[in-house]
Structure 1
Amino acid sequence: MDHSLNTRQIHIWRIAVYFIFALPGFTIASWVSRTPTIRDALGATTAQMGWIIFGLAAGSIIGLLCASHLIAHKGGRYVIVTGLLVSSIGLVIVGVGGSWLTSGIAVFLGLAVFGFGNGICDVAMNVEGTAVERAAQKSLLTGFHAAFSVGTLLGSMAGSAAIKVGISVPVHMALAVAITVLSVIYLYKLVPEGTGKENSRDSIDPPMSARERVAVWKERRTVLIGIVVLGMAFAEGSANDWLPLIMVDGYKVTPAIGSFTFGLFVAAMTIGRAAGGMLLDRFGRVIVLRASALSAIAGLLIVILGQSYTFAAVGIVLWGLGAAFGFPVGLSAAGDDPRGVAARVGAVSTAGYLAFLVGPPFLGILGESFGLLRALIVVLIAVSVAGLLSQAAKPIGKHTAKSREQEKRSESF
């Protein structure tokens, strides 16, 4: 990529990346908002829907694992565009398969394609985000993730409006795809070509081989950052999947109040991420991660031990604020070294998404035996471990990165 960008070009690049982060949030919310309609059209049981939705998880994991190799060969911009277009195709298949064909297999395959596109796009846009951070010399990744949350909110609102006015699922999905594709056509021109691409022209170091990209999974710093992200993503994912039920079962509130508390959590997390850049620039990653872990721990303890809904609502806000930082800050730390940035961001992203996808079902199994409130103790432990390991996110300089590469090479002889 061209490193001679001026201030205006960096600003345009930054704005484009905000919109790019919002697009996957918008498309995911478009799908989620129509799941009840698709379930009813398919006549699927809860268990059958679980298997159908597994297509999304499978496609996402495959995409995440392939992303670093694609970015290394093609660059971030190419993979972002490809990912958004592939996920759009998947969304069309879901809409047609769920309503017109009424085929569970078609919806499964559509979700797998959708998940793959989102998986590669997720890593690529985070690589792009870390590159913007380096160019602007500001902490921006939490703000980019806030844009993803805003996109999710807009997608949910659009889905709710589509249901109210009686727009069919295929037409709704087609409109969401049209918005995505038109946005991509406009935005890709504003993003520099080749971010994250491994080639010898960008550095005195040779480009990373496929073997070296796989080896980042064994780097001590990358593993520790991955554990931090896994713990904090578990805190976020458990709230996304279980918070309304936790409040209904644990505090005997109405389903409407349970949904409101989830909105409270998302709002707190979005506000935290929006303010994250300023906090990170002032206090640094390690202090912010420790403070966010303490906030999440306090919030979870209040929810687990609280005796009233009002008291628990305060805990939910603290939980949301605490969960806001782990994922974006961890990805930012993984992108410190420009050489191999796609591989490290990909590894940490995969850890985070494994927590999103595997953690909540595990919580459900525990909740079946011990109750959902007590099951949250596992989340509490995961967040505590993340807080204790937050020192791993301390920024590394160019010299440190160079030394690490030299040490790694010397070990191979």
Structure 2
Amino acid sequence: MRKSLLAMAALMGVATLPAHAWRLNIDQETFADIGFSTIVRGISEGKRSESASERSRINFYVPLFNITASGHVNKLVYFSMNAEGNSNTATVADNRVLVRDAFIGLKFAEELRVQAGVMRAPFSRAALTSTYVQLFPYTHDYKKIGILADNPTSVEAGLSPRDHGIVVWGNVADGLVKYYLGITDGATIASSTDNSLAYTIRLQFTPTMLGFKPETGYTVSDTYLGRQNVLSIGVGYRVVGRSGALRDTKMLTVDALYEQKFGDLVPNLQVGFINKKDAGGTADRRSSQLYIQGGVLFDQMMGFGKPALAIRLEQNKNTKAHADSDKDEPRVTKFGVWAHYYIKGQAAKVSLGVDSVNLNSEARNRDCDPDTSGTQRCRNFTDITLQFQTQF
């Protein structure tokens, strides 16, 4: 059963599958694996603005749950579906379930696969990584808070969300090189793209001759928990067409992951840079993110699980954040420390994290509470998060 699930992961592009899944067999070639995943989160949020009414707060919610089905029709045709939802408040209207992935694939060879439907846009490592396999699963949306005019990793950036279209991808020379070529409609970008398309290319290199195992699936992971030694270097480029007088948005990324098991210790290091030009279709408006994160897993049971510690330094920056300013450069720097306790790998995990967010002077001058009268300036803040995760 476990070997068949891992084979499915390689074929379908699933970054990681639960330790168990419900398999429906029709015949020797036709089957589907059904999975269920949930994250429950409690977070103590620091004050975001200088408003007199602003308070720190503690919230409990379900930011993510998924029902997935992936399988074969025959040796050539495969499919995947992922329904995703959340429960952020007690108000029914605030909770929703969406189809996040729904695609059909043709596997002609390891070097040539074609997927059509809605799926992750294959631009950056961040875009190809599921929340369930991230070392830092809590991402601040600085644009929503009001700190940045353009957040390079928000929904509008075309990094994390899915897109509708066709992706051709495959592994060459036993995974020495993995490539993606995507033509999609760009509809997940928060600007009218009715008459334009998005074009994406990504190349990923693994020095297999040095004994490292390639990441052969469509998606990737922040950590493989010592199951394989990984050294992957990727570069991606994405152009999102804009309608009318708006400029096409161009995005470039470079990223790398190193993870290797040394006895009972599994160190991990990941770096990445994302640059976005003509953000929102506005000429010369730029946004960028630079991050470095690392950690170590103790690959032995301590009590009823395996402990791990991870740290991350991240900087998000806008240049010419508004069209009427040539010098407007808000910058946000975040330092995070997260401890994970893997009870059964990613299938059962408890995490505790602290994220400290610091703003430069121009970021602090934003209006972080636009619903109140006057400008309520932004401020530095710290969040503490306790999170539980299960997968089946």
Structures share a fold, TM > 0.5? no
**TM-score computed with the length of structure 1 as normaliser:** 0.25
- TM-score w.r.t. structure 2 length? 0.26
Query: Highest relative contact order (Cα 8 Å, sep 6+), 1 or 2?
Result: 1
Higher strand share: 2
Name whichever structure is richer in helix by fraction: 1
